[in-house]
Chains A and B, each alone.
Chain A
Amino acid sequence: MFEPVVVDRVTKRFAGHTAVDALSLTVSSGIIYGLLGPNGAGKTTTLRMIMDIYEPDEGTVRLLGTVAGGRTHSARIGYLPEERGLYPKMRVLDVLVFLAEAKGVGRRVARARALEWLDRLGLADWRLRKVSDLSRGMQQKVQFISTVLHDPELVILDEPFSGLDPVNSQVLRDTVVDYRRRGKTVLFSTHIMEHAEQLCDRICIIARGKKLVDGTLGEVKQQHGGKHVFVAFDGSQGGAARVFADRRLVAKLQDFGQQAELELASGADAQEILKALVDSGARLARFELASPSLHKIFVDLVGPEAATAAATGDQGGHGGDATRA
């Protein structure tokens, strides 16, 4: 099977700290691959090395079968950087045509495709407006279009959904899924586990520049599984807290308030917990036996502080300095 991206033990150091440490990963053709990790884990640095924007200090990156680097293949790769930007004073259509031309697409083809994409993402009426007139979400969609306008076989997206409202986020996720359906390969980074869980065929979780786990979603869940129960309350929680605290039944708890994710203690029976909850007077909206969520696995792997930072500290500011990653 063809492997568009092969990263082999790459290391990148910045002014005294190691952003990426002997990281290896392989993305095979026609899948959606998620690179997951908290802020500062080295996701952006890894993607930049894949794109040949940074040179690795050690190790090699093979892109589309060669070590020639991203720029050589720019016609076959679409890259959406984490640092978003467009020319604010240019018209939307002109920006798209220009960026496609920079990747070697002819002017007329670029124009036709840009109009088609603007129409598809509901921006047709904005094509002659200045970029600065667009909302942030719209700009992000324009940027996404610029990433795929030259119909690349490999798309690399750095935090593509951050800063988007739920509607636009869904539109882009649908587009990504559609892209894979057409036989293309997608590699994207995120720290939002729900997105990764919905989209990815394979994932790789990294923290502090090191790989913690990789594999298909099923494999990762199996490896780090255990039996899990999702509980959602319908109003009254009764004495649920007492049941959750019982170490004979519950090994680990993620309490979200109205919802909770439990990992069963070894030998415990889920039915026992259900009975105990009902007896305690809790009103249940949901009680489900399942494999653990990616979020749970993520938190277990990278540690709760890092995960909390990842869940809340997303928008804006990070990664601006090249010495961070």
Chain B
Amino acid sequence: MGETRPVHKIWAIIRREFVERVRSKWFWVSAILGPVLFAGIIVFQIVQSLGGAVRNVAVVDSSSIGVGGRVVEALNASNAFRATLAPAGRHVVDSLKDLVEAKQLHGFLIVTNDLVETGRAEYRASNLGMQTIEALQRTLSRLVVKVRLEQKGVNPEVVDWAQIRISLHQKKIFHGGTVEGNATQSFLTAYFMAILLFMAILLYGVNVMSSVLEEKTTRIIEVLVSSVRPFQLMLGKIFGAGAVSFFQFFIWGVSARVLLSLRGPIARALGASPADVQTIVLPHIPAATMAVFIAFFLGGFFLYSAMFAAVGAMSSNEQEARQAQQPVTILLMISYLSILGLTNDPSSTFAKTLSLVPFTTPIATPVRWTAGSMPMWELMTSLVILALAIVGVTWVAARIYRVGILMTGKRPNLKELMRWVRA
């Protein structure tokens, strides 16, 4: 009993933090919401592959050369459309409009001689989806090329033979090796990771803050600091909240895996053939990328949590804390707002700078690494900078925390904060 065991105490604090958070309603709401959302995406994709994508369209032929019939033919050949020819008449546009509004028709195409002469046509629909428009444009331009070549006396068979679709097999040179992949995929992976990092750091960092604040407002802090060092308390809190976020990721990861493996049965249950539903492809994430992701998540989480802990300690109620957390949140927002720029050009000077600034490196570096444009030495530099920043920021935060947790009343100004740090 006589001797004190610091590790035992920190462990007790971590466990309390973890158990109480995991017991809370909100943890389970978000734990369940993740898989539900994911299942929704899978079901949506299956339903889409079930012919929901075939559009009923009408083609109004106002041309003098009878191009409408060939448009109908070409559209029907594309599998994406079921087209019918509507002879041009006085009220045909109005009646087609009624059909569109009654949802019996997706939309209608009006073609004139312009289609072949200048490449113009008109499409009217209640819902102008990107995919539909692109499919229409693709089909129409192939047809127009064919018709125009025919007009110049080229054999239609030769035209068909000449039209060929190029498929580009993409391989990515990635940290010394070559892996399967394509541009969209690596962009999406990097983007998704960045968002995930941002959300996790923000949500669980704020958790640390509210936990500090709870101990302060309920005044239990005085009992705690009479038996545990403030620094131990702060560490325990950060580790506890971090463990909760890992547990949350774990639940999401496992349920995503399970749902993916159940894709076939779900598809069969909905009446689709499993072969149709290979649309969801999990991007291949190499172990090295995973390691970088985890290292920078941990580092970023620790860095920001220490700051959030200090914010909680210097505030005496929720409102004050919301105000005082703004500088910290803004630091994090800078990374968030740069995600698009980072993923578009991961080797720009802008991206390089962000991965060398301690407060943006937790998000910028994994993104650059995933995009495959970061030499090993740069990664190491970022890691060292992050580690140094963690030591420095934790030191300052712990000093603010130590004084702040016992203070009530007005929030300290910058001058007073400096005094707390120096004290």
A contacts, CB < 8 Å to B:
51-53, 70-72, 74-77, 79-81, 83-90, 94, 98-99, 101-105, 146, 150-151, 320-323
A89 B20 Cβ-Cβ under 8 A: yes
How many contacting A-B pairs (Cβ < 8 A)? 91
A101 B407 Cβ-Cβ under 8 A: no
List 27 A-B pairs, Cβ < 8 Å.
A53-B226, A71-B227, A72-B4, A74-B228, A76-B2, A77-B226, A85-B215, A85-B219, A85-B220, A85-B222, A85-B223, A87-B215, A88-B218, A89-B24, A94-B19, A99-B224, A101-B12, A102-B12, A102-B227, A104-B4, A104-B5, A104-B8, A105-B1, A320-B408, A320-B409, A321-B408, A322-B408
Q: Which residue of B lies closest to A104 (CB)?
A: B4
CA distance in complex: A53, B407 (Å): 12
Interface SS of chain A: helix, strand, loop or mixed? loop
B contacts, CB < 8 Å to A:
1-5, 8-9, 12-13, 16, 19-20, 24, 214-215, 217-229, 406-409
A53 contact set on B, CB distance < 8 A: 222, 225-226, 406
Q: Which residue of B lies closest to A74 (CB)?
A: B227
A79 B226 Cβ-Cβ under 8 A: yes
CA distance in complex: A84, B220 (Å): 7
B409 A81 Cβ-Cβ under 8 A: no
Q: Which residue of A lies closest to B13 (CB)?
A: A102
CA distance in complex: A91, B389 (Å): 38
Q: Which residue of B lies closest to A324 (CB)?
A: B409
Known interface pairs A86-B218, A322-B407; A81-B223 also in contact (CB < 8 Å) = yes
A323 B409 Cβ-Cβ under 8 A: yes
CA distance in complex: A150, B223 (Å): 13
B3 contact set on A, CB distance < 8 A: 75, 104
Q: Which residue of A lies closest to B216 (CB)?
A: A85
A71 B12 Cβ-Cβ under 8 A: no
Q: Which residue of B lies closest to A70 (CB)?
A: B226
CA distance in complex: A87, B212 (Å): 12
A104 B409 Cβ-Cβ under 8 A: no
Q: How far is the CB of B405 from chain A (nearest CB, A)?
A: 10
Give the contacting residue for B222; candidates A81, A102, A151, A321; CB below 8 A.
A81
Known interface pairs A51-B226, A101-B8, A101-B12; A322-B409 also in contact (CB < 8 Å) = yes
B24 contact set on A, CB distance < 8 A: 89
B228 A85 Cβ-Cβ under 8 A: no
CA distance in complex: A118, B215 (Å): 23
A86 B20 Cβ-Cβ under 8 A: no
Q: How far is the CB of B40 from chain A (nearest CB, A)?
A: 32
Q: How far is the CB of B78 from chain A (nearest CB, A)?
A: 60
Task: Point out which of B3, B20, B226 has the most chain A C-beta atoms below 10 A from its C-beta.
Answer: B226
Q: Which residue of A lies closest to B225 (CB)?
A: A53
A320 contact set on B, CB distance < 8 A: 408-409
CA distance in complex: A16, B193 (Å): 53
Known interface pairs A70-B226, A86-B220; A101-B2 also in contact (CB < 8 Å) = no
Besides A87-B215, A102-B9, 11 other A-B contacts (C-beta < 8 A): A71-B227, A81-B222, A81-B223, A85-B215, A85-B220, A85-B223, A89-B24, A98-B16, A99-B227, A101-B9, A104-B227
B219 A84 Cβ-Cβ under 8 A: yes
A76 contact set on B, CB distance < 8 A: 1-2
A85 B221 Cβ-Cβ under 8 A: yes
B407 contact set on A, CB distance < 8 A: 322
CA distance in complex: A320, B224 (Å): 17
B2 A74 Cβ-Cβ under 8 A: no
B222 A90 Cβ-Cβ under 8 A: no
Q: Which residue of A lies closest to B6 (CB)?
A: A104
B222 A83 Cβ-Cβ under 8 A: yes
B219 A81 Cβ-Cβ under 8 A: yes
A80 contact set on B, CB distance < 8 A: 223
